[in-house]
Structure 1
Amino acid sequence: MPPHTDVLIAIIDDDDSFRTAMGGLIRSLGYKAAGFSSAEAFLDARSDCHADCLVSDIQMLGMSGIEMKQTLNRDGDTVPVIFVTAQTDAVLSRRVDECGGLLLLHKPFDGQHLIDGIHRALDRFPQSN
């Protein structure tokens, strides 16, 4: 899918440097990026932030990324979510699959894997803009 300036990718992570780095990578692909320091901050802003894809950490203070995806599911929001984590928990892949996550990347990861996941998300779930 070619880059579109109307596509918004939301980055949800409590690590400022990760959000900054991922925002730069996403903007270099021609997409808009919006960063949120928590799942709650994203959920509070989602009526104003119509993201086409989410990149979310799993383990954050407060609500986890998986709990956020479950909330989105309950609300009927089908935005694709790419999860990232520094955890090595063997059950995470299963939990991501069960909640409908598109992809799980383990930090540190090759940026190309994230790029491929974003393209896959946008191809499977075309934006409504």
Structure 2
Amino acid sequence: MISIIDDDGSVRAATHNLVRSLGYVVNTFASAEEFLRSPCLNDTSCVITDIRMPAMSGLDLQAHLLATGYRFPFIFVTAFSVESDRDRAMKAGATCFLSKPFDGETLIKCLEAALASNGRSATG
């Protein structure tokens, strides 16, 4: 299962539609907190998340999950690319860091690399 977390509903929907069109099982969330409360947390194979969100950022989510033993790939997307955010994400093990707007081909390549890196299925 691919979990998409973005506070922008249009980005969330577009990313969901693209990933689902590839045959993946997808769940979407408007916040990191919503994702953490979700029962699908344990079934997640990859997280695609915005860096900057109200309350808990994508970077804070990544750090929280790593600290609590969850190890799945992260693909970060952001409209406000900052080198220090990219460095922090990649040092913590992110697969990709994409600036919005990103093209579908690039996201697909990142997703394929992320899933290959952990050997988990995301199809249903």
Instruction: Flag whether TM exceeds 0.5 (same fold).
Output: yes
Asked if 2 retains the 8 angstrom alpha-carbon contact of 1:66 and 1:99, the reply is: no
What's the Cα RMSD here? 1.4
Structure 2 CA distance for aligned equivalents of residues 25 and 71 of structure 1: 27
Instruction: Find 1:83's aligned residue among 49, 52, 76.
Output: 76
Unpaired runs of 5+ residues, structure 1, are 1-7
Q: CA deviation at 1:109?
A: 0.8
Which of 8, 15, 18 is the aligned partner of 2:8? 15
CA deviations 1:61-117 (Å, max 9, x no partner) are 000000000011001111100000001322122111222211100000111111001
Residue type of the partner of 1:20? A
* 1:117 equivalent in structure 2: 110
**Alignment of 1:48 onto 2:46:** no
Distance 2:36 2:46 in 1: 14
The verdict on how the C-alpha distance between 1:76 and 1:117 changes in structure 2, with shifts beyond 3 A counting, is same
Per-residue deviation, 1:128: 6.4
Partner of 1:4: none
Corresponding position: 1:105 with 2:98? yes
Letter in 1 for 2:40: D
- State the identity as a percent: 40
Q: Which runs of 4+ in 1 moved over 4 A?
A: none
Which has the bigger relative contact order, CA under 8 A and spacing at least 6? 2
Q: Does 1:25 align with 2:15?
A: no
Q: Deviations over 1:1-47 (max 9, x none)?
A: xxxxxxx11100001111111110011101011100001111111x4
Separation (CA, whole Å) in 1 of partners of 2:83 and 2:120: 33
Give the Cα separation in 2 of the matches to 1:112 and 1:94.
23
**How many residues align structurally?**
121
> Given residue 70 of structure 2, which amino acid in structure 1 is its aligned partner?
D
Unaligned runs of 5+ in 2: none
Q: 1:101 to 1:74 in 2, by over 3 A?
A: same
